[in-house]
Amino acid sequence: MSKSLVIDHFAPDAVMRGLLDGEDFRNRVPGTTVYTCPRCAHRIRFRWRSFYQADGRSHLQRKLRHIFDDLTPELRAATQSFIDFHCPTCQAPTRIIFSIHEGGNISLHFDIYAVLVGEGMSR
Ligand SMILES: [Zn+2]
């Protein structure tokens, strides 16, 4: 018995507020950005540090993680990582996929590629 799993793909600016666009980048994480769960509207504030500290570890169960991995593309010409979590309100499994760019003399830049969101529990 396998239960069907719906995972939707969201453009960064559909679910995250405050991302920056520039001449040669899109959807760049500023000091802080607010993510809104598309299933239940729960908001989570992410800081630049959250992306800096992301290390590819996942809080999702293995089976779910593999499904998300299959849906995560290899981004061209970029180092990439992701942040996995369950929405604290509706439990929707969520993956924020982003690329990592050297930022000159100061730091790194993180550009959001997409957000994958599974089903929440309150449907
Ligand atoms: Zn939610």
Please give the model's pTM, rounded to 2 decimal places. Answer: 0.92
Angle at 21 (CA atoms; ends 18, 26), nearest 5 degrees = 105
Structural domain contains residue 94: yes
Tell me which residues have their CB within 5 A of the ion that is ligand 1. 37, 39-40, 42, 87, 89-90, 92
Q: What are phi and psi of 87, to 5 degrees?
A: -55, 130
Q: How confident is the model at residue 56 (pLDDT cuts 50, 70, 90)?
A: confident
DSSP three-state, residue 97: strand
User: Could you tell me if residue 49 is inside a domain?
Assistant: yes
**Inside any domain, residue 1:** no
Q: In the prediction, which pLDDT does 44 show?
A: 97
Q: Which domain holds residue 51?
A: 8-117
Task: Indicate whether 122 belongs to any domain.
Answer: no
Q: What is the pLDDT of residues 64-118, one digit of tens each?
A: 999 999 999 999 878 999 999 999 999 999 999 999 998 776 689 999 999 999 9
Is the residue at 78 inside a domain? yes
Count of structural domains, the chain: 1
Task: State how far Cα 27 lies from the chain centre.
Answer: 12
If you measure from the C-alpha of residue 36 to the centroid of ligand 1, how many angstroms do you get, rounded to a whole number? 8
Ligand 1 centroid, distance to 106 Cα (angstroms): 34
